[in-house]
Each structure stands twice: as C-alpha cells, then as structure tokens.
Amino acid sequence: MKIISQTYHSITLTGAPKIPTDLLWDLTILFFGLGIFFLFFVFISRNRLSNKALKVASQKKILAPIISNFLFYETDATKDENYEYINLKIEIRELLKIPFNRQVLTEILLDLQKDLSGDSRNRIFKLYQDLELHLDAFKKLRSWRWELVSKGILELTQMRVLAAYGFIRKFINDKRGVVRKQAQIATVTLKHEGISYFLDTTRYGISEWQQLKLLDVLRNFEDFTPPRFKAWLTSGNRDVVLFALRLIKHYNQNDANKALIELLKHKNNQIKSEAIQCIKDFGVFEALNMLKTVFRKCSVDIKLQILDTISSLGKVEDIEFLESIVKKESNFLVKSKAISAINVIEPDTYVPTEGIDKNITMKNFENNEQDNSTQLSEVMKNKELQPDDSLPASDHKEDSLDNQDHLDPEFEDEIIFDLCFTEELEDILSEFNEEDQEVNYLPLDFLPVVSGEDELKTTVDVKTTENRNTERKENLEEESFKEELETILDKIKLHEEDNINDDEEAQELEFLPLVVETDEEEDIGHIDEITAEDILSLEVNVEEVDTENSETNAQKSIDWMAFVKESEVFDNDLHSKAFNEPQLDENFEDDCSDKENANQITEFSGFSIFQELFRTCDRESKLILLDEILAVGDEKEVYFLKTLLNDADKKVRTKAEIVLKELQLLLSPEIEAEETKDQKETNELEAEHLHSASEIPKAVTEINTVPISNLNNEEDNLTSLKFCFLNDLLSESSNNQSHLFELNFELVETPLEEIENNLKINKNNEVIEKEEKFMSSLLRNIISFPEKFKEKFNG
Amino acid sequence: MLASLLDYRLQKGGYNVHLAHDGREVKEYLKRATPDIIVSDIMMPYFSGIELVDYIRNELNSKIPIIIISSAGNEENVLSAFELGANDFISKPVSPSELLVRVGRELNKQ
C-alpha cells in the first residue's frame, strides 16, 4: 500500500483564476466612455466642419457677386454702377474686418485665379492685394507650423505678390523639406532672378521632381532671359551642378566647353553622363581626347555613352582607339557599341560574321550583265535583219548555261525559269511522242504566255504595231523571252517535220501567237512584195489567230482587220467598200481607208471564205460547214464546192457533190428574183431609216443601201460569206417589219460579229473536243507542269 | 464660383442667364423652358456635360447651341462632346471676354 501511495499521487485540479469583476466593470465603463467620447468627437467635428463649409458656401454666395462686380468694373460705367461699386467697396471693407470673411475671400480668389485667364486673372491679383489679403499670408510665414508657412508661401506665390519675394527666399535653405521646396519654387516663380539666387544659395539637394518643377516654371516664363548656367558648374553642390548641366542643355548654352570637358573627370556618374550628353549635343570636338582618356575608368553605361559620342563626333583617326576597345574590351555591349561606332565613322568596316555560312562566296555579276545585254541586243539586231532566222536551240541553251554562273540576280530567276521550262517542254514532247503517235497535233496552248492582246493590236493597226515593235526592241526582257520561245518553236517545227505529214494538220501549229505575231507584222509591212502564196499563208495565220482569241474583246478589231485584208486581196472594189465600212473604232477606220487606197486588189474568181475554214478543220466540221454552204452559199461557193469534188475524204466528196447540186438549184434565176424582191424592200426601208439617223456614219448607210440583189446577180461581184450572212439577216428582217428599227442597229454593230463569233466558237469547240479526246495524258502533264517547275526551281 | 462669375459677366453683356448648379437641375429646367444657348461645364454633379449634350441632341432632338467648358488636356471628353453634337469648346482657365464672343457668335449662327 505504501508503494501505491508513493507511485500514485493525488491529483490536485487547478482552479479557475479569480477574476476581479470590479476591474472588468471598470474597464468596460472606461472603453464604453471612450467610444462614446470618440463618437461624440467625430460627431462634433463633422458638424463643425460641415457648418463651416455651409458658412463658407453661404459666405461665398454673398461675396461672389461683390468680387464679380469688382473684377468687371469698368471706369466708363454708369452712375448707378459707380454708386453700386462704391457701396460694395464699403460693404467689403466691413466684411473684411472679420477674419472668416477674409479667409473666405482669399479662398474665392485663389479658386478664381485657377479658372480664369487673361485680364480677369490680373484683376484678381490686383484685388487680392488691394483688399490686403496678402498680409494674412505674410502672417502665416511667421508661424511655427510648417504647413501654415508652406500655405502662406503658396498663397503669395499663386497671387503673384512680388513683395513677398524677399520674405520667401529666406526659406530656400529651411530645414523643413516641404517649406524649403515651396520656397524654392516661389523664389524662382516670383522673379526672373530667382533662379540665380536659388542656384547660388541652395545648400540642400534638389530632387529630380523638384528640378522638373523648377524647369517647368522657367519654361512658362515670358520674356525670360536665362542666365549663363555654366556659372554654376563650379558649384560645390552636386545637384546644383547637375541641374545647371540640364539647364545648359535645355537652353543650348554652348559656351561651357572647358567646364564640360573637366566634368568628364567628375566622380559622379550622373554629372559625367550629363556632361557627355552636352558634349554630344553641342559637338564639342575638343572633348574627344578627354573622352578617350576617361573611357577606361567609366562604368559600362558611361562607356556606351562615350562610344556613342565618339561615333557622332569622331573621325577616321579615332577608329584606332575604337578598334583597341573592340580587341581589349570584355563587355559584349561595349564591344558591339565600339564596332557600331567604327561603322558609323567609316561605314561597312565591320560586316556581320556571326551565323554566316562561309562556304557561300559572292559571284561577280556586273560584267556578265553587260555581256548578257550586248548578246541580247545582238540577237535582236540579227533578228531584225533576218526575221525568219532564229538562234538554234542548242546554241542558245549553251549560251544561257555559259552565262548562268555570272548572272545578275534580277535575271537569274528568269533564266532558271527558262531552263526549267525548256526541259519540261522537252519531257512533255517526248512523253507525248511515246504515248500517242497517232495524233499529229501538238497542244501548245499553254505556251502563249505572251498576251494575245499585243498580237491583236498589231493586227489592227500596222502603224502602231511598228512603233510598238521599236519599243519592244528596247525591252531586253521581252526580247529574250521571245527569242527563247522562238527557239522552242523551232524545236516544235522540227518535231512537226518528224511526226506530221499532213499539210493541213501541220498548219495547225501556226496558231502559236508569237509566230503569227512576228510573221504577220513583217508581212503587213511588206505587203507589196508578198507573193500569192504568202498571202494565202498570211491569211490562214490571221484566221487562226482569230480562232484562238475568239473570246477576247479585241476580237472585233482583229476580225475586221483580217476581213479587210481578205477583202483587199481577194474581193473586188464593191466588196472591199462594203466590208470596210462598219467600223467599230476610229483607228481601224483610218487603217481601212489607207488600205482602200492601196488598190492592190487581185482579181480572184470564186474565192470562198469556206476555203479557209476547210483548211483548218476536221472531217466533222467540214460536213457541218457544207451544210452552212447550202444555207448561205452563192457562186463562189459553187466554185469552191467543185474543187471539193476531188477531195481525198470520200464523205466530204459525196456531201460536197450533194450540196453543189442543191446550191445550184437554189441559185436559179426564179428563186433569186424572189429573194431580190424581198431584200430590195428591206434595203429601201433601211435606207430611209439610215438617212434619218444622221449620227450614223456614212459608211453604215452605204452598206445598207447596197442592193444585195445586184450582188447576187453579178457574177463578178463576189460576195463573201459574212456578207451572205448579212444578206440572210436582211431577208429575215424584211419578214418582220415591226423589228426593222432594231435590226437596223444590229446590222451596224452585231450581226456580222455574232456570225463570226458563232463560227469561231464552233471551230474552237471542235478544236477543244479534239484536244480533249487525244490529249488527256498531255494535259495532265501540262497541269502538273507548274508543280514540277516549282520543285525544280526550289531544288 | 466660376459659374457665378460667368453668370455676372454674361448678364452684364446683356444676356438673360439662368444659372444651374448641377446637371439634374439643367434637365429639369429644360423640361420647362428652351434656352437660346447652353454653356456647360463637363464635370457636373449628377449629370455630366457629355450626358447633357446627349440628352439634348438625342432625346430632346433639340438644336440648341451648346458651348462646353472643360479643363485643358481633357481631350477625350471634349471629343466625345463634339461627337454628340456640342457646338463649341472653351478650355479652362476661361477668359470671360472670350466666352462672351463665342456665345455671340453661336447665337448669330442661328
């Protein structure tokens, strides 16, 4: 039991501390009392402030009109106004005896001077002093409370009390920062010489913000002549020196070069930086040596600034120093800046070296460019002399390859394109030969990158073509491309000779615009010298160009031109007259008139326009055309059909025979007489109408008044297919007299074109069908050509 | 204070002036009467000068000339006021003589 009693002690629970409830009650009462007192204090203070604000507001309402009256009082006022002014003066004097009123009045004037400008503001300043309110501000200056002193200084400064200058400047070195700063601003603001006094006497530091405010004050001065601030560069106050440097820079005072150079040795980086900035701005060249001298001891920022200054002021002699920095300086920024400075003094001394592929060496293209141009011009000349001769493809290729190493970058792409293009073309041609030997037709539609417009224009206007031709001769790029294409075309011709035996199909190659363009231009230029064979070939070319460009707007012109040529060469006078007249543009009219005067017309019995069409179309087209001959044909077509009786194609031969018989029947005198009657009526009506329409050119009236019956009757007057269509339309129009008026205009502009277009569209469709049928594989190659080209071009 | 001063100056210039101390008061007044011209500060209690221009132009569909007074540098507000249809703008500090001229010019335009 003893052990147990030793092991287990009886646990005595700690009792709750005794709380002195009396003390608690006392504290509660105390804090409650303090709370109430605080609330009471706040309440009292708030009421007091609000009451004061109300009093001020009400007092302002009373004083505002008085002040307004004083401010806007004019000496030339009426008696009543003068009387009122005097009364107000007396009244305000009485009011000002009360300090509160003085305070309110001061507040009013301080507010107003902020919101008013001009003469009113000056009157406020005057009124402030007239009412002796500045005396209150002076009293404040004597206060021991810094806020009151500061307030007094501000008040006197804002109200421009110059008399306070002497009192305020004493506070410039006040130990209380707020008062000191306010005094500094006031001193500088009140008088122009304040800045000098301030810089002379200030002993305390001038903060950056304070410097800005002082500078702002100086900036807003009118008629201010700033002192020479170099005087304060010798100040013992570091901030004064700094501020003086900034003022020197602001006012561009460049008479402190020596001091600036000396300041480069200053221990303070800020001063050094400002001095360097001044040296750079003022172009102090004599400071360069000092800049170099102090360079080593400066911080990185100052070094950068020095290098910047040397780059703007330095000469070639300073490059040595800069290069030594480049070699010795470890800091990347400084090194880069030194290199940059060298490049500024002597451009392109240093070139980029980092990340440059050294394997690439620059090639000299200058000589080659000249060679290229001379070669091209020679080629042009040769071409002019020998239009049919073009450079052999292989030679040209060799030339281009030779020149490839030293080409001007501008031509490089074009030559690469040409090479790729030639290669690709060869591939396509070879593939084509392998795939389809039966089709002796080369789909070279993709070739004419050269616009058809040029071609059309050249056909329309021979004179303009010649001019344009001379312009082209000046254009090397175009010529080179042209030359390239001619080379290609030579290849094509060679290819043609190998593969194409049929003459008609061989002619299909002639539609290539460039070939047509050059040949045609030259042929037109020398039309007098052309043989009959040449004329035929020329005509075919023209017609084929028409076919190619049937969808273009310029089609009208080129068709007409072709038609004019045709009429000139093969038709009689009447014919040429008739078809030259419906002009659609003035240029064309001139050309036609020129050509009419040529009188180089060959008598050609029985030439039909179908003859041309038959040369370029396939069997199906020929059969369709034979149907058309039946519909529109006349004596010429009879002659033509007779020639077709010996055609190689049996179907064509048979069909021609049938059509010939029917056409001969149609052209019998009885039927002809009926047609002539209808057409006569129609023509008479049209002639009347055309006479009334004076605006329509004479040519148009002539075409309508030509008796078509006569044309049909006279065997010598050979009517072309187009005129036959016109004839047909006229006969139709005679049946429907209600539309005669409309038809008249259509005759002028549309029917012939429509017919031509229809014919050409048909031809085009046939050609397209043929192409689609036989050239699907080739088209694929052509479609993929750009992609292949891109791949080759991108390597 | 500026308002009362300008009020005095305009009255002295021969105009009959109604002085309102905030935007709400102006709005109430406009329901009762139509002044020949309104000279308004941009910063007003309850109803700013821009709102006032908007109210006059778009709600009342009135073409009363409005001259806006604002502190210099408050370009954004001034531009907004012009976009809404204010006729003229004077920056603080204001020259009472200039205001008088501008008021006369705007009234002559009518």
Peptide bond into B93 cis (omega under 30): yes
User: How far is the alpha carbon of A183 from chain B, nearest alpha carbon, in Å?
Assistant: 25
Is the four-CA dihedral A690, A694, A695, A698 of positive or negative sign?
Answer: positive
Q: Does A412 touch chain B (CB under 8 A)?
A: no
**Given this model, what pLDDT does residue A154 score?**
95
**Given this model, what pLDDT does residue A196 score?**
94
Q: Which of A207, A205, A212, A159 is nearest to A186 (CA)?
A: A159
**Given this model, what pLDDT does residue A391 score?**
41
Q: Which of B9, B12, B94 sits opposite A115 (nearest CB)?
A: B94
Burial of A594 (0-12, 13-18, 19+ CB in 10 A): exposed
**Given this model, what pLDDT does residue A683 score?**
56
Q: Which of A67, A72, A117 sits opposite B95 (nearest CB)?
A: A117
Answering whether pTM is above 0.90, one says no
In this structure, which amino acid lies at residue A318?
D
Q: Which of B8, B12, B93 sits opposite A116 (nearest CB)?
A: B93
Q: How many helices (H) and strands (E) does chain B have?
A: 5, 3
Q: What residue numbers bound the domain in which B72 lies?
A: 2-109
Residues of chain B with pLDDT under 50: none
Task: Say how far apart CA A716 and CA A388 lie, in whole Å.
Answer: 38
Check residue B40 and give left, alpha or beta (phi > 0: left; psi -120 to 50: alpha).
beta
Residues of chain A with pLDDT under 50: 383-408, 436-470, 472-474, 500-605, 670, 685, 689-752
> B95 vs A69: CB contact, 8 Å cut-off?
no
**Given this model, what pLDDT does residue A679 score?**
56
**Given this model, what pLDDT does residue A457 score?**
43
Alpha helices in A581-693 (DSSP H): 586-598, 609-616, 619-632, 635-644, 650-666, 669-692
- pLDDT digits 0-9 by tens, A769-779: 666 666 666 66
Please list every residue in chain A whose beta carbon sits closer than 8 Å to the beta carbon of residue B2: 111-112, 115-116
Q: Which of B1, B4, B9 sits opposite A72 (nearest CB)?
A: B9
| Contacts (Cβ under 8 Å, ≥6 apart) of A730 | A679, A682, A683, A686, A708, A747
> B5 vs A116: CB contact, 8 Å cut-off?
yes
> B2 vs A116: CB contact, 8 Å cut-off?
yes
Check residue A361 and give left, alpha or beta (phi > 0: left; psi -120 to 50: alpha).
beta
Q: Say if residues A564 and A591 touch (Cβ distance below 8 Å).
A: yes
Question: What's phi and psi for A578, nearest 5 deg?
Answer: -60, -40
ipTM over 0.90: no
CATH number at residue B39: 3.40.50.2300
Q: Which of A247, A243, A301 is nearest to A269 (CA)?
A: A301
The number of distinct structural domains making up chain B is: 1
- In A96-135, the residues whose Cβ lies within 8 Å of chain B are 108, 111-112, 114-121
Q: What is the largest CA-CA distance in chain B?
A: 34
> B4 vs A65: CB contact, 8 Å cut-off?
yes
Q: Does A60 touch chain B (CB under 8 A)?
A: yes
- pLDDT digits 0-9 by tens, A441-453: 444 444 444 444 4
The 3-class secondary structure across A382-413, one letter per residue, is HHHHCCCCCCCHHHHHHHHHHHHHHCCHHHHH
**Which tokens hold the place of A140?**
């404040």
In this structure, which amino acid lies at residue A192?
H
Q: Say if residues B67 and B89 touch (Cβ distance below 8 Å).
A: yes
Q: Which residue has the tokens 């002497």?
A: A166
**Given this model, what pLDDT does residue A395 score?**
44
Q: A with B: how many residue pairs have Cβ under 8 Å apart?
A: 51
**Which tokens hold the place of B6?**
């300008």
**Given this model, what pLDDT does residue A250 score?**
93
Q: Which of B4, B8, B93 sits opposite A117 (nearest CB)?
A: B93
Q: Does B21 touch chain A (CB under 8 A)?
A: no
> A121 vs B8: CB contact, 8 Å cut-off?
no
User: How far is the alpha carbon of B49 from chain A, nearest alpha carbon, in Å?
Assistant: 17
**Proportion of chain A in helix, strand, coil states, percent, rounded to 5:** 75, 0, 25
> B1 vs A118: CB contact, 8 Å cut-off?
no
| Contacts (Cβ under 8 Å, ≥6 apart) of A650 | none
**Which tokens hold the place of A315?**
């000469």
For chain A, give every domain's residue range.
52-132, 366-604, 617-667, 675-774
> B93 vs A111: CB contact, 8 Å cut-off?
no
Q: Which of A64, A118, A119 sits opposite B5 (nearest CB)?
A: A64
Q: Which of A172, A190, A194 is nearest to A181 (CA)?
A: A172
> B93 vs A119: CB contact, 8 Å cut-off?
no
